[in-house]
Structure 1
Amino acid sequence: MDRGSVYAVELMKPPQMGSYPAEDVTFLLKDISELMEETNTEDREELIQAGTHYSEMLPVEYQPSAEYISLFHHALQTTARKVALASAVVAELILARKGRELVLASLARAGTPIGVLIRRYLRQIHQLDAPHYSISIIRGKGIDENALHYILEQHPGKKIQFVDGWTGKGAITSVLHEAISRFNQKYLLRLDADLAVLADPGHCVQTFGTREDFLIPSACLNSTVSGLISRTVHRDDLLATGEFHGAKFYREWIAEDVSNLFVDTISAHFADIAAEAKEQAAELIRHEDDYVPTWKGMHDISRIQQELEIDDVNLIKPGVGETTRVLLRRVPWKILVDSVDNPNLAHIIMLAKDRGVLVEERSDMSYSCCGIIRPMRGENQ
């Protein structure tokens, strides 16, 4: 991973951020906790749809009810083995394809807990102590190049593996490929833009644990399951040359934090599922031509967009993870589900009821659910 040009800008040192143990992850982010306030959901939605970039504001984080927190704990207990197996399969695929000279770069913040799980699996099962960084990537602005340069300087010769939680339409997959292509051309490098995810219901990547659209409990919450870190921010007035993209560290929510509970509960299953994970990964590698990305989910989204007469495809958020995000931090119009009785969607139904959002059954989707953001103007308002 020799660098083809000298990067002359002096890079910032990573601050101490997040509630994970230091060995689990290093956040390559600037702590902007004292530099900006959150924007309420309605105002933020209007600004986004009027053209303000989503990365220039932070949403007010949803404060879940006791009932909802209870649902999270139930989901964690019932899906822990399944999430552990998917994490392990992804880890085995990464190891087989990248080797042991490896650095994990999770995409903050949905990718952060998954990166922690993959790192723990590699250490526990393969005695591989892979460095893990969490970095920012933003649709419409690209990846944090300063963070990439920092990783390259700290770990010359190692291969970077990008990690995220799940795929929806595949927007971040596309952003990553475009950003790494530009980065490689700019600095004469050959970084691999492969994205590893826990769940790939959109059929957008080749390194995945499953393509089932199931509930990953970390999707149920925001910062309190992601190391108390906010969404990432990119604003020129907050970031100087050489600084990483920004994020807030919500230290005040430490009592509500379940970030370590989540990864501890799942990683406790690694020893039991390791043999199964190795078999599944070997099978995926043997038949990898059958699992090339087809972007199947986008065909469904195009049909939904046409039928509902939605001008902007960015208002359609498919999959359990993305639908949850719509309900937690956007202004939803309606929620499409394959069945209101789907156990993977209990938290979706609860959130929709809490926010007074219409839920419609629809059985012709690749995804188990789809969140539709309410247009703030026009005929669908």
Structure 2
Amino acid sequence: MIAAVMLLLFGFAAPAQADDVSQIAKGLTNSRLYVTTDSGASLTDADKAEINSALANDGDADIRAVVVKPGHSQQALGSMLKAVGNRVGEGKTYVAIDANGREMVGVSKDLSSKEINQLIAQTSGGGIKSRLTEFGSLAEKKADDQARSSMIGAFVTLGVVILLLAAAFAAFLVVRGKRRKREEQQMAELKQGVEEDVTLLGEDIAKLDLNVMDQKLDPEIRSDYERAMNSYDEAKSATAKAAKPQDMQAVTTALEDGRYYMTATRARMAGEPVPEKRAPCFFNPNHGPSTQDVMWAPPGSTPRSVPACEADAQAVLSGGNPDIRMVPYGDGRRPYWDAGPAYGPYAGGYYSSYGGMDLLSGMMIGTMLGSMMGGWGGGYSDMGAGAGDMGGFGGDGGDVGGGWDFGSGDFGGGGDFGGF
């Protein structure tokens, strides 16, 4: 009889089994509120529905709540909320409140621990339903305020960026305009200088005035003279079409050929050996092919070997000054090697058949053109950025973290959160 009485008294009063993390997470997947089996909370179905509806309407705050039995520690509740959030995979703020409505903690990805504590403090003094609905309402207002502030900040930032871009674009236009004007001036000066070279070759051909139709004219003389005239025509045509400094290389290449064939024509007419086809005279390519190399140095620089025509070679060797090609530059004239980068292709065309830039870079040391022939080095630096893994919560236990701030109300302590 005693055993029967004991069974009746205690057999059906076994303590409720605490819900685990998986059960709570499953319950919060389709609901904003979960009441644990052992919580002892006196919430009616209508109360639960009202809380769930209120939290669901706070869409920006995106809150989920768990009602637990009293006596759990802050850390245990924080770890439980973190683990639940990891299982659910959505939601910005999770809160836990005990069945008495007195103790409340939260973890959030949007709210700082200070903000969580402030919201919890503002809801103190009420029951579970009033605290959760008020917490949701306050959190929603704060989320809206943050969104407005972010939007205002974004507009301000956008305005500043637009102003900076506009200023940069205006500066770019000014710089580009100045550069374009400078390049146009350089191109006009270059074209004037090249046209002078073309005219000089044409005048030299005209002075000789050979009749290539004359049957008595030596075929080799006729051939060299015709090549000189063809080179002149090529140079004249290329000059007319030139739109940028690089186009002038074709002009001076043709002029170099024309100058050589005029020299060959005169040698044949004088009954002299045709000279070797050497690089043009460095001091003035209009002098035609060089006859020898001489050591020469521009003012303040080191000596280097340069090809020179007979007259200029003798001038240098005797301590005199060679006849230097002076080209238009600004309001005056300068040696072509000190007249700016536009004359790079001009010089390159004259020496393209004799080592090109390799030859020129040695001859031009210490000149304006020489300083621009070193090339541009360097490549693109690798652009990379590391990014930390963007995980949600950590494991099912451990310290509260993983990007979530943790806040709590006035907590009185308690034991570990058993079932969780």
Shorter-normalised TM-score: what interval? under 0.3
The answer to which structure has the higher strand fraction is 1
Q: TM-score, normalised by structure 1?
A: 0.21
Q: TM-score, normalised by structure 2?
A: 0.19
Larger Cα-atom Rg: 2
